[in-house]
Amino acid sequence: MGILNISRNSFYDGGKYNSLNAAINHTQKMINEGALFIDIGVASSKPGSKLITPENENKLLIPYLTALIKEFPETYFSIDTYNSLVAEVSLDMGVSMINDISGGILDPRILKIVGAHEVPYVMMHMRGIPKNMQKKIHYNNIIEEITFFFNSQLKKAKLAGVRDIILDPGFGFGKSKKHNFTILKNLDHFRFLNCPILMGISRKSMIYKTLGVDAKQALNGTTALHAWGLNFGARILRVHDVKQAKECIDLWGELQ
């Protein structure tokens, strides 16, 4: 899954693709490199960022989505949103997946919208909201608490008619660096939930802070952890760097 951040405030590539030409060119590059999905986000979810209203999100998103669907009619697009109105408009335009960082908590109606459209849904775990999530990082047992969250939200999603659910443990969303590595070490625990696992660690602080570099220098570390994640249950990699992730997947596949 290739990341297309249209927001100016994203932690790594904010502002690089917030023109139509830049967004189209980067999408073409990711498709050429092997992306199966393009995940479009217009609202930054980095720590400290504020929630965006659905009206403002749609105002930013619709021109890009219209142009991208026209330019790449055979491509599967995902929308990174927690707003049900944004999900509804996007799905009516032909989007193939919804990626919800709140797992249906911030706007529970999103589950009914996804269920009615019968598309895949990425359910991510996050404690709090982006503005305050890094102030809510105490867990008695992080693996058990994420599992409880998934079990609870899976029941709600299935009652709403959502059938194709992908789980994302939410690396960096209301977690410390230690928590993130604990999740990674125990990633295969979530297999018993019988849903594909999405891994979203691309260039995140758990990597660059450990290595003493910045996000721009975190590609090698990202690739190393992708290999670990694939070996312990990850089935979708959400990435900034499609070429390197695809190579990692191909090499891992030869070992199976």
Q: Which backbone phi and psi does 23 adopt, to 5 degrees?
A: -65, -45
Taking the C-alpha atoms of residue 27 and residue 3, their distance in angstroms, rounded to an integer, is 9
Taking the C-alpha atoms of residue 121 and residue 158, their distance in angstroms, rounded to an integer, is 11
Q: By three-state DSSP, how is residue 117 classified?
A: helix
**Nearest Cα residue to 20 out of 75, 72, 66, 73:** 66
Contact status, residue 186 vs residue 228, Cβ threshold 8 Å: no
Is 29 among the residues known to form the active site? no
Structure tokens at 238: 């959400």
Is 8 among the residues known to form the active site? no
- The Cα-based distances of 11 to 5, 7, 124, 174, 208 in angstroms read 10, 10, 18, 16, 12
Longest Cα separation, the chain: 48
Taking the C-alpha atoms of residue 114 and residue 116, their distance in angstroms, rounded to an integer, is 5
Which residue in the list 46, 112, 203, 238 is annotated as catalytic?
A: 238
Given its phi and psi angles, is residue 212 left (phi above 0), alpha (psi -120 to 50 degrees) or beta? left
CB count within 10 Å of CB 50 equals 10
Which residue in the list 46, 175, 203, 204 is annotated as catalytic?
A: 204
Taking the C-alpha atoms of residue 103 and residue 167, their distance in angstroms, rounded to an integer, is 9
Which residues belong to the active site?
A: 204, 238
